[in-house]
Structure formats: C-alpha cells, structure tokens
Amino acid sequence: MKYFSTRGGSEELSFEDTVLTGLAPDGGLYIPTSIPKLPENWKNDWKDYSFVDLSVAVLSLYISRDELSESELRSLVERSYASFRHPEVTPLKKLGDKKYVLELWHGPTWAFKDVALQLLGNLFEFFLKRRNERNPDKKEKLTVVGATSGDTGSAAIYGLRNKANISIFILHPKGRVSPIQEAQMTTVTDANVHNLAVKGTFDDCQDIVKALFADTEFNAKHRLGAVNSINWARILAQTVYYFLAYFSLRHYVGEDQDLEVQFVVPTGNFGDILAGYYAKKMGLPMAGKLGVATNANDILARFWKTGRYEKADSSASNAAAPLAMEPAAGSSDGKQATQDAGGVKETLSPAMDILVSSNFERLLWYLAFENVPEGETDRRGKAGKTVAEWMGKMKSDGRVEVPVAVLESARRDFCAERVSDEQTLETIRSHFLGEPSYIVDPHTAVGLNAAMRMAQHNPASMKQIILSTAHPAKFSEAVSAALKNSPEFDFDTQVMPEEFNGLLQKEKRVIDVQGPEVELVKRVIEERV
Ligand SMILES: *Cc1c(COP(=O)(O)O)cnc(C)c1O
C-alpha cells in the first residue's frame, strides 16, 4: 500500500515515509492509493478479536508486509495499548435500548487522543531506530514541537515520553490551562519531554510553533515533527474502535441480528469521524449516516446545510456586520467583535474549538473523486487538482462552495448538528439524572445531544453509538457547572478518578518562557535537544 497527497496525486510514499512526513510538501494530506476491502469472512473470523487483534487485522490492510511484518506490528500494537486501564481498551456501554457510548478515554491521559498517539509514538520510535541501524552514519532524530491549550499536549507527551531519538517540546500558556491538565503534562519528568510555560495566550503559543515550522533553516537542522491530527497513522489507529464497537454491539443484541447502527462523533478537526468513514468504505455496515456533532464552532454543520465551507458564518455575520465593525474602530471591545465576525469561539468543549477542520480535506478529496466521471483518464490527478483549487480559495477568500453533486455525495454518508453550550449543560444534567445515571464530559455531551436530534429521523430499528471522547474529570468546570444544583451530585466521589489523587502534588518539570517570543523558545530547544 502506498500513499499520495490530496493535492497532488503522482508522487507515492511508503507507509513509513507517510508517517514520518505528516503534512505533504504541497500542503496536502496523505491518503492511501485505495481503500482496502475487508476479507470475505471478517464478520465471523474477527468476532471474538481483542482490540489488539483487531488493530493488527485492520492496520495490516494498510501497511505493506515488507515495511512491517505481522509480528512487528503486533508487538507495537501490544505495547501501545498495554497502557490502557480497561481490558477491552475502548469498551461499549449501554445507556438505553438504542443508545450506546463507546468510551475512548481509558488511556493514560483520559481522553480519546491516547488511542492514536500511543501507537504513533511507537511507530516513530520503531522507524527511526531501524533507519539508524541501517544507516549508522546519518543519525536521524525527530524534534516534535506543539502548542496546546491543555488536551492534546498531554496525549502527545504520554505518546512520546521516553522514546529513543525523539524530543518533544510542548508550549502551553502559563496559568491558562486547567490545573489537572497542567499537572498531567508537567509531572512527566522523562528527559526527552520539555514543557514550556509561555507567558502569553494559546494563540501566542500557536504562532510561535507556526514560526518555527516556517523557519526552514531551524526546521531542517532539528527535523521538526508534528503530531497533530493530520498524521495518517492517527486516522488509521482510530478506525479500529469502530470495528470493536460493531462487534461489542452484536454481543449486546445477539449475533444473529442484522445490525442497523449509526455512529455519532463529537467533532473538531474531523479526524475521529474520518476514521469512521474509512471503516464504512472498507465495508463495516453502517445503515445510519455518520453523525457530525459540532459545538458553536460549526463550520462543518454549516457545510452540510449549505454546501459552503467557510470560516465565517456569512448568513449570520451579514446581519451582525455593522455591530462587529463599530467597536473595532477604537474600542477595546474590538477583539470580541472580530471573534464574533468569524474567529474561534470559546466553548465548554474546548477540544472542538476550531475555525477550520484540518482533516476535512481528506473527505473533500473522496467527494471530488466521486464526481470525476468514471472512465475519464487520471481521475486521481483531477480530484487532486480540484481539492488544490478548493483549498486555495479557502486560503484566499476564507470560503469555498462545492457543486451540488458534491454536497449530495457528502450527504449520502454524513449528517450534522450543531450543539450550543446551553444544550451541552442540559445534556450533562439529563444523563446524570437518567437511568442508568451516567456522567459525561462536555464533548461527549455534544455528541449525545446531536444524536438525540438525529434519532428523530431514524427508523425504529436503528441503534446509535456515540463516541465518548474524554473522562468528565478532565473538564471539571463544565461538569460542575451543569450539576451544581443537583443535591445528589458530588464531584470528588462520583467523578474524580483515584489516579488523579496526588497528581497536583507530584514533582513537576517545566521551563518558564518569559514572553511570547520565538527566539526565546528557539534557545530552549537548542539547549535541550
Ligand atoms: C480532539 C478532541 C475531539 C475532536 O476530535 P477531532 O478528531 O479533532 O474531530 C473531541 N473531544 C475531545 C475530548 C478531544 O480531545
């Protein structure tokens, strides 16, 4: 299996190069040359597979044997998921006759990104080691740099801690990350892990990271790597739990039943749900459309409504424009106003606070491809050209409108709903008071709320699986805000996991950066790498 860029199409990379490269040089994302079909007897052969078995079975379809043997792959996967607390890794919980949640947060940092990042760290280490053994004169290293407002940083740190030939530098805004999330990052004291507490905002941190990647000299010298959700290995690792969920559901409802199932996914950068799309295209039966659940940062929900992929909500900001312009001219409220006119909105589900969804480009490629008539020459190249045009428009105008036929293709596989903060809180409350009582984090609540609305269009036989992306203790503010008036609610005994006890008191290692300046960060990296 080879990989090529969504914006190009001619150059093909191995799986190893795809994983180590991340973003393609033309700005595109890598996708496989074809989506493999499931083996004929998968339903029977795989039905009692563990998470590790399923990972090996699914991932081998995307990785050539001469790059990773089955036993090498198995050993990497086993190590990656040994760090999970639950024997099933991603267990399926029944909340109602038609409502199930897939708990993706039993990994080391209690959020779903662990599933992919635990494996990604091991893949990086394996490939670098092998390259260095084959070519000892040219020692290859990787310096991973990233900015975080809390969630992704800790998952990346836990994925890469203690890995040979890899250093990781994670920038967070000092004092602006929740205490638990700050402690999760800074109590990792492995020598290759460097937490930088930058005096500034999350945006400052992100700007510094962007500047480092844009600095070609610095980048080449240190071989900067990213672990963000565009890395193909992350998508691939996430396809596995869709299969596990399917089999778990069959165990609940009886194996002879024909399952009609809809997956609903709290979505930000479109990585988690895109993995579901791959699973579907491979042949996993999904009678229901994949449900995109967004918060107020609803670029995706708007796309499925209108066919326009645009940063600012033009229908709303037309009306709001005069208001948005006024304070900007001199008032200190200018920032708020520009945010309303199209910036990222801060919500109770911060891991989904995005302006554009980086992995959406991968779906756009498949939609473009479907709409190049069959029989035409070089369909792949033509789809790449279309995607490059769309993304170019996105960059220059902040918006692009796809043809009706493309929107119709998108609607065949997906539906979408936007969920407000108020609805998020209400959903946390109703599930706490539900039977069984179940406490969810705000991201999962977005998924549950969207699922409820999507269910209204479903046939009675349809079951829903909502992906639960974080443990509620990670987002204590939203959970406490939702449940503060419930007398039976007690955060410390009902939500707080034992493992968090003492976390805040543990030894920390963190480097203070006195201002949001690229040079200061560069110096830290130069000193420590
Ligand atoms: C990253 C994240 C999401 C969004 O996942 P995407 O793959 O970016 O769509 C949802 N919930 C939590 C808790 C996350 O950390």
Query: Over the stretch 32-50, which tens digit does the pLDDT of each residue have?
Result: 999 999 999 999 999 999 9
Q: Rounded to 5 degrees, what angle do the CA atoms 251, 252, 256 make?
A: 60
Distance 203 CA to ligand 1 centre (A): 18
Long-range contact list for 70-74, CB < 8 A, 24+ apart?
A: 72/126
Q: Return the ligand 1 atom nearest residue 354 CA.
A: 8
Q: Are 454 and 464 in contact (CB under 8 A)?
A: yes
- The reply to whether omega before 436 is within 30° of 0 (cis) is yes
> Each residue of 318-372: pLDDT tens digit?
444 333 333 333 333 333 333 444 588 999 999 999 889 999 999 999 999 999 9
Q: Are 68 and 55 in contact (CB under 8 A)?
A: no
Residue at 510 is within a domain: no
Q: d(Cα 260, Cα 198) in Å, to the nearest integer?
A: 49
Q: Rounded to 5 degrees, what angle do the CA atoms 83, 105, 148 make?
A: 95
Tally the domains of the chain. 1
Tokens of 380: 């792949």
Who has greater pLDDT, 424 or 255? 424
Tell me the average pLDDT across 498-518: 94
Tell me the average pLDDT across 382-394: 97
> Each residue of 5-15: pLDDT tens digit?
999 868 999 99
| pLDDT exceeds cutoff 60 at 268 | yes
Residue at 351 is within a domain: yes
Band of the pLDDT at 316, cuts 50, 70, 90? low
Distance 151 CA to ligand 1 centre (A): 9
Tokens of 364: 């756009």
Please report, for the domain that includes residue 451, its CATH number.
3.40.50.1100
Could you give the percent of the chain with pLDDT greater than 90?
83
Distance of CA 31 to the CA centre of its chain: 16
Q: d(Cα 451, Cα 262) in Å, to the nearest integer?
A: 9
Band of the pLDDT at 296, cuts 50, 70, 90? very high
pLDDT at 450: 98
Residue at 95 is within a domain: no
Tell me the average pLDDT across 446-452: 98
Q: d(Cα 107, Cα 469) in Å, to the nearest integer?
A: 11
Pick from 473, 479, 470, 477: which is nearest to 500 by CA?
473
Q: Are 115 and 241 in contact (CB under 8 A)?
A: yes
pTM: 0.93
Tokens of 449: 């709320």
Site to probe by mutation for ligand 1, drawn from 109, 113, 295, 428 as the one with most ligand atoms within 8 Å of Cβ, is 113
Q: Are 445 and 424 in contact (CB under 8 A)?
A: yes
Question: Which residue has the CA at smallest separation from atom 14 of ligand 1?
Answer: 351
Tell me the average pLDDT across 179-201: 95
- Where does residue 52 rank: exposed (0-12), middle (13-18), buried (19+ CB within 10 A)? middle
Tokens of 393: 């428009």
Tell me the average pLDDT across 511-529: 95
> Each residue of 64-105: pLDDT tens digit?
999 999 999 999 999 999 999 999 999 999 999 999 999 999
Who has greater pLDDT, 23 or 98? 98
Q: How many CA atoms lie within 13 A of 15 on its CB side?
A: 22
Q: d(Cα 14, Cα 2) in Å, to the nearest integer?
A: 5
Residue at 198 is within a domain: no
Tell me the average pLDDT across 446-465: 97
pLDDT at 47: 95
User: Which residues are catalytically annotated?
Assistant: 113
| pLDDT exceeds cutoff 50 at 385 | yes
> Each residue of 498-507: pLDDT tens digit?
999 899 999 9
For 326, the domain range is 233-357+413-494
Band of the pLDDT at 22, cuts 50, 70, 90? confident
Tell me the average pLDDT across 394-411: 96
pLDDT at 214: 87
Tell me the average pLDDT across 408-433: 98
Residue at 367 is within a domain: no
| pLDDT exceeds cutoff 90 at 226 | no
Helix, strand, coil shares of the chain, percent, nearest 5, are 50, 15, 35
Tokens of 214: 């844009």
Q: Return the ligand 1 atom nearest residue 443 CA.
A: 11
| pLDDT exceeds cutoff 90 at 256 | no
Q: Give the amino acid at 421.
A: D
Tokens of 34: 């074809």
229 within ligand 1 shell (Cβ under 6 A): yes
Residue at 275 is within a domain: yes
Site to probe by mutation for ligand 1, drawn from 101, 112, 264 as the one with most ligand atoms within 8 Å of Cβ, is 112
Tokens of 528: 């420590």
Residue 3 three-state SS: strand
pLDDT at 326: 32
Band of the pLDDT at 416, cuts 50, 70, 90? very high
Q: Return the ligand 1 atom nearest residue 474 CA.
A: 13
> Mean pLDDT for the chain?
92
Tell me the average pLDDT across 131-152: 90
Q: d(Cα 247, Cα 250) in Å, to the nearest integer?
A: 5
Residue at 299 is within a domain: yes
Distance 35 CA to ligand 1 centre (A): 24
Alpha-carbon distances of 269 from 117, 123, 273, 339, rounded to whole Å: 15, 22, 9, 19
Distance 44 CA to ligand 1 centre (A): 32
Residue at 226 is within a domain: no
269 within ligand 1 shell (Cβ under 6 A): yes
